[in-house]
Structure 1
């Protein structure tokens, strides 16, 4: 199965938690039906991306990255690559690359927990969001894409964190 077909399958089966998420889900499916390259950065109009908020449930914390280009605290994530077989695999790859943590696993049975559509300098990102569990005792390592990595309590996110990250952290707590 191709990455695009995996995304269509995942989004078709996903039980959206509310009307807003369901509208986004349907918009993503419409985009993928209209754009053969809709999963990749090469699609200039919009493309599907994959992200994961990394959690340490024992400490009640999430790991956020101070993104070098955006200069905001965000979950890990980014563009899908041709080597990715699934959207979940893309989210895990991005999480490992940006956090330096190996052994991450996806929660919620590997299903997405949310969707977020946002504008970036390259195009509109149609983000498929996951929750990743950090193994006990894991150590993070800042990548070139980050200015900083920090653990934050679920209810003490940094000032200026946008609503999409706050909503994702709330969903992560619910999944736990």
Structure 2
């Protein structure tokens, strides 16, 4: 596994693809500059880490049905207290949510996309935003996938099929960035 990189290092190494992503990256930088723990869920904008899980051999991606939102999303989520390495967060979350024990950064452990995503209010928390740091992880054992609970269905799909299932434009954009990696 690549050596852990800090969030500022990951941001410095990443080249945003467009003005939207540049603006989102600047919001992440401002969050970091504010001090404190940027992963703290109580903040109206806080860090999260997600990934497109791929099976390179079959050129498929894994989607997870989000129980509360009722839509197909990526795997990942919040850091646990004390976690600061976004790649470690998404690897942990990926293993927890899919039961895939062989997940590895692919092809290189770099950020694939930065997206600030609105999260609607629920009975447990107010509306807020996720400053989502997105990676690509690979598995060699797609048949081993198991949802963490019955409401969190998992589905393998080709990139085009996955883009058709996903309604959130920011997730569709992330999937578009993965297509050339799988085709290359």
Q: Tell whether the structures are fold-level matches, with TM greater than 0.5.
A: yes
Q: Hey, what does 1:11 align to over in structure 2?
A: 11
Structure 1 unaligned spans of 5+: none
Q: Hey, what does 1:28 align to over in structure 2?
A: 28
Q: Residue by residue, what CA displacement relative to the aligned partner does 1:29-77 show, whole Å, maximum 9, x if unpaired?
A: 011111412222132x210100001111211211101111111100101
Q: Hey, what does 1:170 align to over in structure 2?
A: 176
Asked whether the equivalents of residues 112 and 134 of structure 2 are also in contact (C-alpha less than 8 Å), the reply is: yes
Residues in 2 aligned to 1:65 and 1:103: alpha-carbon distance in whole angstroms: 18
Q: Hey, what does 1:156 align to over in structure 2?
A: 161
Give, in angstroms, the shift of residue 14 of structure 1. 1.8
Matches within 5 A, 1:48-67: 48-67=47-66
In structure 2, relative to structure 1, the CA distance for the partners of 1:136 and 1:159 (3 Å cut) is closer
Matches within 5 A, 1:84-99: 84-99=83-98
Asked whether the equivalents of residues 50 and 77 of structure 1 are also in contact (C-alpha less than 8 Å), the reply is: yes
Aligned-partner SS, 1:125? strand
Q: Hey, what does 1:116 align to over in structure 2?
A: 115
Q: Hey, what does 1:131 align to over in structure 2?
A: 136
Give, in angstroms, the shift of residue 82 of structure 1. 2.4
Following superposition, which runs of at least 4 residues in structure 1 exceed 3 angstroms of deviation?
Answer: none
Q: Hey, what does 1:74 align to over in structure 2?
A: 73
TM-score (norm 1): 0.88
Asked whether the equivalents of residues 68 and 145 of structure 1 are also in contact (C-alpha less than 8 Å), the reply is: no
TM-score (norm 2): 0.84
Residues in 1 aligned to 2:15 and 2:70: alpha-carbon distance in whole angstroms: 32
Aligned-partner SS, 2:15? coil
